[in-house]
Amino acid sequence: MAKTILITGATSGFGRACAEYFAGAGWQLILTGRRSERLEQLQTQLGVAVRQIISLDIRDREEVFEKLGSLDDIDVLLNNAGLALGLEPSWDVNIDDWETMVDTNIKGLMYCTRALLPQMVKRNSGHIINIGSTAGAWPYPGGNVYGGTKAFVQQFSRNLRADLIGSKVRVTILAPGMAESEFSDIRFKGDVEQAAKVYQGVEALRPEDIAETVFWIVSRPAHVNINAIEVMPVDQAWGPLAVHRQGK
């Protein structure tokens, strides 16, 4: 019997690539996202692999529990939906952008996890994969609240593992580095030219790279839990600590 994966934020980037990859591997898909027309297009593209599409804003707690709380046979929850907004310094940022990132990257992930985790615990089977970011471990100018939200995802994933000890439910955090997708288009609010500069001269990760990694994670034997994976393109690495020199 085919396994079922529920993917949040399935309409673009990592989510869409994972939907396509898992469909090709014979899985059943439940796909969620805010853009219903894109969900419908994806359903048409992937055909019978798509068991259900759910138009959903994960920031809305009542909607999440109403639409996801009754699902009782999800093998994998891929908490993929998330975003970054802006690169302004902390004192100049739009506070609405901060709240949107917190509501999506933290609260939305919490709601989806809480809605689906009870059925996994009851069945003593399941896997939660949380998409984090290297920004959750390594700071950069302008990363402020985005990095903070992804640090939450990292620690939340660890604490889920602690809560689930003794059960067969697995938890993984996957933290990508620079990846070329709609991510930067959204960060810069549709400024395609500014978004393109992020990847100029760099061979960044592709959504397909993340999809392959997610599939590898869920394909490990049932007694194996991949706690965390951090993945960067070869063209990205850590830099030296910043030092400001007086008079420079």
Nearest to 157 by CA among 173, 175, 136, 169: 173
Secondary structure, 3-state, 163-214: HCCCCCEEEEEEEECCECCCHHHHHCCCCHHHHHHHCCCCCCECHHHHHHHH
How is the beta sheet containing 28-33 ordered, strand by strand? 50-55, 28-33, 4-7, 76-79, 126-131, 169-176, 228-231
Catalytic residue among 111, 140, 146, 199, which? 146
Q: Which tokens go with 73? A: 């046979």
> Is 21 one of the catalytic residues?
no
CB atoms within 10 A of CB 45: 13
Please give the radius of gyration of the chain, using alpha carbons only, rounded to the nearest integer: 18
| Rounded Cα–Cα distance for residues 89 and 76 (Å) | 37
| Rounded Cα–Cα distance for residues 150 and 135 (Å) | 7
Q: Which residue has the tokens 């960060």?
A: 187
Just list the catalytic residues: 146
